[in-house]
Structure 1
């Protein structure tokens, strides 16, 4: 493994705290982007069935020559594939596209609008975990009420909850619910798609440390114990986002970034998202 710190999940599996995301990266660009990330030192790659780029991710992993036990690969089951049997089939399809026999983390992508359908999906994930097809299971975009219901009805507590989280939306209620259940919080859109990088406090802190605003925001996440998965297709930015371990933010600087919270989502609210 590289020098990236790890988070020990609630089942003992260690997950790199900094990973590389490929949301909205076309499949024909994904192999090059992931290859650049692996060259820099990323070892955790996050994709999803609905992204349509699992094949590109798998190709980059296979061509990298990096040992499988040094990689951490996450993908997700999409809404239209939820349900017990459908999820098992969806997992097999994702694993085939990725060229892997075992995943490191498999997530429910969204809590489905049909109340309780994600419970049947979760039973399938528990089966995949028990069978050794994936090393850990978790959820994405789950609100506190979804987590409470899932934990109460299930034998396995999710290892990870991947949610939108950045300085413009600190999502404190979800972080608190994750902590209450012993679930690691992972931030997607950790830079708010660049929307927070021009904030005066972020720019001031970056100048003070001789770092970029993106590096400061990623450092803000890491120092508060979250997993982050920034994405880019630009090699220089991929490298920049990885170079976040040589400096430390003060408590006052962390508080200044916290204060940017305005509930500003870049994506849909889980309670309102009904895409099939």
Structure 2
């Protein structure tokens, strides 16, 4: 659908896409993460001068901007831009990445209001939510409140960022109207092409791909160059870790050489080849490119990505290199949630001071070898049980259903999504006792419908494939409550 809001002088060369009803965006979105790098010494950019640079992008058709609450003053700069006459066509996406903790209506509203105030707007075009650990189930509380704010008109559309396929499905099965998921996706990191793309196809969700040029490493500038040792900026520090885990600098040079050869064939840059490959994935609505506020701009080169197509020979050439590379482990977003942490610092230290435990382990005053974890279920005090009890080095986890809070049935009717939620809950209880999924030695799974066996087994495999426990799966006539699956577990810590 063409954009009817284009202002005079704007180039028609940049294709557009409807991300949601009323949200028409450029297929190249300008990312403002550079602001955080420029301000990491404590200084702040002049918002007027910085907005002048962004206005030049908007005038050239690059009028969709992506930022986050932790991208320095990016929201303030964008608010200055969108407040100017003639800039009503600019779309602003921002992310809310709260620290783990209670997600009450008041806390969520305050977080979103801060975004509104900094952007100087009454309605956020696309609010994207990030959560640091799915073992903390309060991310569902946050998304429900965000959905309520969308219905209220403070948010135009809801997106998420760095969600893996399993947890995106939980959110969708909960009825949250999610239109997009922003994830790392490049020739180096191809995780999004698998289960996540398949899920997006089923649910109609689009991907916003970042890291497509690996912080600038995927360019002629690095072709044939020695491996860098001193990397000054956060973005390149992060993507160098991706390159390392994908096989290292030598195979990365082979990838650059293949992309360069393809680019020579089509008369474009190897960066264009890398972007074209990602944009050709059916689930991808747009790629996010860095908006240069103080450095050289590359708008003309970026537009070349839409002037050619990759053919079968090109895909075969890239595929031959892919076959010799190592896949980045796990699913999208795992780089923020489990080792190896593929972040600038190799952990979450520049994002969070700590990840507090979801539920504490309470020592038994009478029996010194025992401790218990309670998860707040209304049935725990009524029936006199706990979620998990530790006796010596053995941890026993009660039968667990997809119950959130006192009584909410998570992802009704979706056994695979319920399994994901249940196992998150079980792992959170284990963490309180100093254990993890690697310490689980037995699980028992109870299904109402044998047709759910595959979906439940796939979800189980995501948690335990690296350290498989003994497992029993049973079909039962009925579970207590409207649940499709219930799971119990046993773990043993090293002596």
**TM-score, scaled to structure 1:** 0.86
Deviation at 1:54, TM superposition (A): 0.9
Deviates more, 1:210-219 or 1:45-54: 210-219
Tell me the distance in 2 between the aligned counterparts of 1:117 and 1:201.
45
Pick the aligned partner of 1:127 from 120, 124, 148.
148
Counterpart for residue 79 of structure 1: 98
Where relative contact order (Cα < 8 A, 6+ residues apart) is larger, the structure is 1
| Structure with higher helix content | 1
Counterpart for residue 220 of structure 1: 277
Tell me the distance in 2 between the aligned counterparts of 1:89 and 1:256.
50
**Unaligned runs of at least 5 residues, structure 2:** 1-5, 39-43, 224-255, 342-347, 353-495
Check conservation: 2:210, 2:287, Cα contact below 8 A.
Answer: yes
Tell me the distance in 2 between the aligned counterparts of 1:62 and 1:81.
33
SS of 1:105's equivalent? Answer: strand
Deviation at 1:208, TM superposition (A): 1.2
SS of 1:80's equivalent? Answer: coil
Check conservation: 2:263, 2:273, Cα contact below 8 A.
Answer: yes
SS of 2:117's equivalent? Answer: helix
Tell me the distance in 1 between the aligned counterparts of 2:326 and 2:165.
19
Residue 251 and residue 73 in structure 1: after superposition, are their counterparts in 2 closer, same or farther (change >3 A)?
farther
In the alignment, is residue 271 of structure 1 matched against residue 293 of structure 2? no
**1:126-275 maps to which residues of 2 (within 5 A)?**
126-153=147-174, 155-171=175-191, 172-197=194-219, 198=223, 199-225=256-282, 226=284, 227-233=286-292, 234-257=295-318, 260=322, 262-264=326-328, 269-272=335-338, 275=351
Deviation at 1:11, TM superposition (A): 5.2
Deviation at 1:12, TM superposition (A): 6.5
Counterpart for residue 81 of structure 2: 60
Tell me the distance in 1 between the aligned counterparts of 2:119 and 2:100.
17
Deviation at 1:5, TM superposition (A): 2.6
**Unaligned runs of at least 5 residues, structure 1:** none
Q: Give me the CA root mean square deviation.
A: 2.7
The structure with more radius of gyration: 2
**1:8-23 maps to which residues of 2 (within 5 A)?**
8-9=18-19, 13-23=23-33
SS of 2:301's equivalent? Answer: helix
Check conservation: 1:31, 1:56, Cα contact below 8 A.
Answer: yes
Residue 257 and residue 116 in structure 1: after superposition, are their counterparts in 2 closer, same or farther (change >3 A)?
farther
SS of 2:95's equivalent? Answer: strand
Counterpart for residue 51 of structure 2: 31
Tell me the distance in 2 between the aligned counterparts of 1:87 and 1:205.
47
Tell me the distance in 1 between the aligned counterparts of 2:137 and 2:100.
14
Residue 177 and residue 98 in structure 1: after superposition, are their counterparts in 2 closer, same or farther (change >3 A)?
same
Tell me the distance in 2 between the aligned counterparts of 1:72 and 1:243.
23
Residue 173 and residue 158 in structure 1: after superposition, are their counterparts in 2 closer, same or farther (change >3 A)?
same
Residue 149 and residue 115 in structure 1: after superposition, are their counterparts in 2 closer, same or farther (change >3 A)?
farther
Residue 140 and residue 210 in structure 1: after superposition, are their counterparts in 2 closer, same or farther (change >3 A)?
same
- Equivalent pairs, count: 273
